[in-house]
Amino acid sequence: MTASVRLNQLNHWFGPFHALRDISLEIEAGEYVTLLGPSGCGKTTLLSVLGGFIEPSQGTVFIADADMTSVAPAKRPTTTMFQDYALFPHMSLRDNVAFGLRMTGVGKAERHRKADDKLDLVGLKADGAKRPHELSGGQRQRVALARALAVEPDVLLLDEPLGALDLKLRRAMQDELKDIQRQVGTTFVHVTHDQEEAMAISDRIVVMNAGRIEDAGPPSRIYREPASLFAADFMGEMNHIPAQVGSAGAQTALTNLPAANLMSGAATVCIRPEAVRQDGKGIGLGDATVRDATFFGAYTRAHVIPTTAPDMVVVAHLPPTSLPETGAVLQLSVLPDDIRIFTKDTA
Amino acid sequence: MNAGTGTKLGWGFVAPALLWTLAFFIVPFLVMGAMSFATLEGRSLVWGLHLDNYIELATRAYLWRAILVSLEITVTVTIVSVVLAYPLAAIIAFRVPPQWQRLALLLAILPFWTSYVVRSYAWLLVLAREGLINQALMNVGLIVEPITLANTRFATVTGFVHFFVMLLTLTIYANLVQLSPNYRRAAADLGANAVQTFRHVILPLTLPGIATGAFLTFVLCIGDYVTPQVLGGNNELTMPQVIMVQLGRRADFPLASALAIVMMAIVTLAYLASARWLRLDRV
Amino acid sequence: MRMAAWLYLILAFGFIYLPVGTLVLFSFQDGTLPVPPFNGPSLQWYTEVLADDDITAALINSLVVAIGSSAVAVVLGFLAAYGLARHVLPGSAIMRGLLIAPLTVSYLIVGLGLLIVLNRTGIGLSLFTAGIGHVVINLPLAFAIIYASMGAQHENAERAARDLGASEAKVVLLVTAPMLAPTLAAAFFLSVTLSWDEFIIAFLLTRFDITLPVEIWSMLRSGLSPRLNAIGSVVFLISVTAVLILEFTVLRRRRS
């Protein structure tokens, strides 16, 4: 089962603290959306509002075109997967997964059958009789997922579900989550602070900061054309080059860059490390001296100091075969498409 | 950590406490055990393996009634105290705002710090024929003559329950507060109402804590002399009271020892019976 | 549901405070019976009680026994905890069990056992014998609390001290004990509280010099009197003040 979600002008205060500011968002039925942002940005608060654990001070929450703003969690077509899984330790896995069905009065045989189905979906078919403490972290996470899906919610809310897992397991689970979501078709809203995770699984990423939505869109668009300085910074690494926008374009210490339709005044030019080129194509950025270069497997990460701006350090990702010595001089350039300029009104 | 000199030194550290426990607990306990098999001939003590005391316990009504009375009172007190304390602990843990919980708990157990003897005395005041409750009931017109509340089993049970409700509120609260709030949220999220959440999630998870508290109540209650002596009157005596009578008037150490051994046996049985629930601690 | 909860809370608190409230209220009774009607307030009973030599003597005795027995209990408990936690000794599980065993036995039985032994060996009863009994009941508690607090971080500090040349005695005195100061204080305070209020062992094992609970007991034998209310309220006040001080100093500091 699946449904669309519409959030309109959500505002929420915890005492004097303004936790959510004018949040408006539309999520299509069946979308996998990630709420991404640093600690304290409001993403978990937003998830709680969606789940019905918090009633927002202002604004509305519509799920499948029905006003759910004040509806209790039990009565909403949502279920939440908690960060610590909250599996009932005194029940078997099967009883855990069947719990929601039991609460709605489903008979024993049928709810056990449905529970086994869901355990099968997450790959734990034979373990129905076990207790949570007998499982590993990754397995418990799957049971929590099965339990949340057993009641066939329209929207599944995941609160940093992969935080407790190690890197390899996390990557595997990301793929599995995406797979399962495609299979059941439910709308997934997933909270995380890990931007790699967000990029791996989302149909759309919603970047949040200080209670506001900074940017929302498909991972590729957010990465390549971030809408704000914060979003640009949060996703991957970014070089910041101060600039002055005037009649002659954006003037930086390295070179002048075209800046059509931009507000005059101070600005920041953002260039991704992998967009800094050595092959001379695109706009020249001048010479730079290598401060250090470290092999990172898929690329070489180099800190370079531009000749025309000795106070600046630029991070460049060079091909892995290139490992320049400290003091080597490189000629840098960048393609115009790879440049983002943020002025005061877009920062 | 080297085992060689370390071990000798280690013994050195543990020895004082061990010796103390041995000398002033183990040995007296064993002596008491031996004493329970001794007998009094006239005024002199005869050691040996006499079963007189235990036979007397089983046959003399005055004695085995005391055992029965102790059991009845203790079981009643345990059940009533748990039933009254659990909701109180739950209300403090779940309904009182988090920043006030510590204060609420402290206020709920503050009377703990009246001297144990004094607290039983205070209940005597409240329950006496001229006391607060009778006066209040007469003023309101519910009764004409004061009713006998003090010096009854009711008074003893009330005195005990008052003490143990405070103790159990503390232990059950500690147990409840340890539960991750996400358990309740998850249950609610999956469609459970308050009653269902309590029945299927909270109660089973707190059962070990309740069992521990109930066992503690049982042990402390059955061995207590003060409350029944102050509040119970002399119509029926509990085991501790009978033990003290044997010590005082008759200086009958053997019989007193036998009673004490029986009391310990009952406590051990209670432990074995409840061990099943006590062992279920797994979160 | 909300209403029912608050109603229950009020009723429960009413029940809990009924005896204490009555006690304190009628300690100010202007009259000879601590029962309604309440005339007063009068401080006559407080002045009488605080001027009573027997009571003051009993109070001091209680303090002496409490502090003395608690000090012994904490020292023995600490040494035992250190010995068991830091050395691999054969049969340590049995030793731990033995040290904790007195917790499982009713105080009456502890007192009875000691009474029998003292009686048979002809040793007289005194505050000292009562103190011995109190150490028996407080030692297991002190040991358990301190043993549970001896963690790995303490062990590393001790190793560092030994590495720098300290003898075993110095390590215990200069490193272990100070690091465990809050735990030792808590164990000490708990023991003092339990000993201060303890009746049956003190009753069985004292003769001429008695502790406060035993003194109150003998006062009780003379019937209802506001004197008991007054001394009871004083004891209550002292205990509550100590607890509140502990709560707002030691425990607050630990949280920040």
Q: Which two tokens stand for residue C140?
A: 């297991």
Which residues 41-80 of C have a C-beta within 8 angstroms of B? 76-77, 79-80
User: Which amino acid does the sequence have at B265?
Assistant: A
Query: Is the link from the previous residue into C37 a cis peptide, with omega within 30 of 0?
Result: yes
B110 touches C: beta carbon within 8 Å: yes
* pLDDT top residue among C87 and A305: A305
Domains parsed from chain C with CATH numbers: 56-221 (1.10.3720.10)
Instruction: Give me the helix-helix angle, B253-278 and B27-36, nearest 10°.
Output: 120
Rounded distance, CA B257 to CA B51, Å?
12
Burial of C7 (0-12, 13-18, 19+ CB in 10 A): exposed
**How far apart are the CA of B27 and the nearest CA of chain C, in angstroms?**
8
Residue C254 in this model has a pLDDT that exceeds 70: no
pLDDT band for position C255 (cuts 50, 70, 90): low
Looking at chain B, which subunits does it touch, using at least 3 CB pairs closer than 8 Å as the criterion? A, C
| Element holding A17 (H helix, E strand) | strand A17-27
Residue C172 in this model has a pLDDT that exceeds 50: yes
B118 touches C: beta carbon within 8 Å: yes
B259 touches A: beta carbon within 8 Å: no
- Cβ contact, residue pair B190, A51, below 8 Å: no
The string of DSSP codes covering A135-155 is: S-HHHHHHHHHHHHHHT--SE
Backbone φ and ψ for C104, nearest 5 degrees, come out as -85, -5
**How far apart are the CA of B136 and the nearest CA of chain C, in angstroms?**
9
Q: What is the pLDDT of residues C45-73, one digit of tens each?
A: 888 888 888 899 999 999 999 999 999 99
| Chain A CB contacts of B183 below 8 Å | 86, 88
User: Which amino acid does the sequence have at C203?
Assistant: F
**Nearest CA-CA partner of B223 in B30, B74, B98:** B74
**How far apart are the CA of C195 and the nearest CA of chain B, in angstroms?**
11
B195 touches C: beta carbon within 8 Å: no
B183 touches A: beta carbon within 8 Å: yes
Using alpha carbons, list the distances in angstroms from residue A308 to A233, A235, A251, A288: 24, 28, 13, 8
- Cβ contact, residue pair B263, C109, below 8 Å: yes
| pLDDT of A213 | 94
- Cβ contact, residue pair B12, C116, below 8 Å: no
| pLDDT of B157 | 96
| pLDDT of C250 | 60
The string of DSSP codes covering chain B is: --HHHHHHHHHHHHHHHHHHHIIIIIHHHHHHHHHHT-EEETTEEE-S---HHHHHHHH-HHHHHHHHHHHHHHHHHHHHHHHHHHHHHHHHHHTS-HHHHHHHHHHHHGGGGS-HHHHHHHHHHHHSTTSHHHHHHHHHTS-SS----SSSHHHHHHHHHHHHHHHHHHHHHHHHHHS-HHHHHHHHHTT--HHHHIIIIIHHHHHHHHHHHHHHHHHHHHT--HHHHHHS-SSS--HHHHHHHHHHTS--HHHHHHHHHHHHHHHHHHHHHHHHHHT----
pLDDT band for position C1 (cuts 50, 70, 90): low
State which residue of chain B sits closest to C89, comparing Cα positions: B7
Q: Which two tokens stand for residue A327?
A: 């003091």
**Nearest CA-CA partner of C229 in C240, C219, C242, C239:** C219
Backbone φ and ψ for B271, nearest 5 degrees, come out as -65, -45
Mean pLDDT in chain C?
87
Contacts of residue C165, Cβ cutoff 8 Å, sequence gap at least 6: none
First to last CA, chain B: 34
Which residues 122-141 of C have a C-beta within 8 angstroms of B? 132-133, 135-136, 139-140
Instruction: Give me the helix-helix angle, B52-59 and B253-278, nearest 10°.
Output: 70
Q: What is the pLDDT of residues B101-113, one digit of tens each?
A: 888 998 898 888 8
Q: What is the pLDDT of residues B153-175, one digit of tens each?
A: 999 999 999 999 999 999 999 88
The string of DSSP codes covering A198-235 is: HHHH-SEEEEEETTEEEEEE-HHHHHHS-SSHHHHHHS
B186 touches A: beta carbon within 8 Å: yes
| pLDDT of A149 | 93
Rounded distance, CA A123 to CA A142, Å?
8
pTM (predicted TM-score) = 0.80
Q: Which two tokens stand for residue C129?
A: 């014998």
Strand order in the sheet with A5-14: A17-27, A5-14, A58-63, A66-67
| A-to-B residue pairs, Cβ atoms closer than 8 angstroms | 60
Domains parsed from chain B with CATH numbers: 60-278 (1.10.3720.10)
Instruction: Give me the helix-helix angle, A137-150 and A167-184, nearest 10°.
Output: 20
Q: What ranges in C28-52 are assigned the alpha helix state H?
A: 44-51
* Tally of residues, chain C: 256
Q: What is the mean pLDDT of residues B219-247?
A: 92
3-state secondary structure of A196: helix
**How far apart are the CA of B130 and the nearest CA of chain C, in angstroms?**
6
CB B152 within 8 Å of CB B233: yes
Give the other-Cβ count within 10 Å of B161's Cβ: 23
User: Which amino acid does the sequence have at A197?
Assistant: E
| pLDDT of B146 | 84
pLDDT tens digits in sequence order for chain A, 347 residues long: 899 999 999 999 998 999 999 999 999 999 999 999 999 899 999 999 999 999 999 999 999 989 999 998 888 999 999 988 899 999 999 999 999 999 988 899 999 999 999 999 998 989 889 999 999 988 999 999 999 999 999 999 999 998 888 888 889 999 999 999 999 999 999 999 998 899 999 999 999 999 999 999 999 999 988 888 898 888 888 999 888 888 778 888 888 888 777 788 888 889 999 998 888 888 888 889 999 999 999 999 999 999 888 888 999 998 888 888 898 898 888 998 888 888 876 65
Rg from Cα positions in chain C = 23
Give the best residue of A80, A85, A152, A159 to mutate against chain B (max B CB count within 10 A). A80
Q: What is the mean pLDDT of residues B83-93?
A: 93
pLDDT band for position B3 (cuts 50, 70, 90): very low
Contacts of residue A98, Cβ cutoff 8 Å, sequence gap at least 6: A106, A111, A112, A114, A115, A150
**How far apart are the CA of A198 and the nearest CA of chain B, in angstroms?**
24
| pLDDT of B272 | 83
Domains parsed from chain A with CATH numbers: 5-231 (3.40.50.300), 237-343 (2.40.50.140)
Rounded distance, CA A216 to CA A35, Å?
9
Rounded distance, CA B169 to CA B175, Å?
10
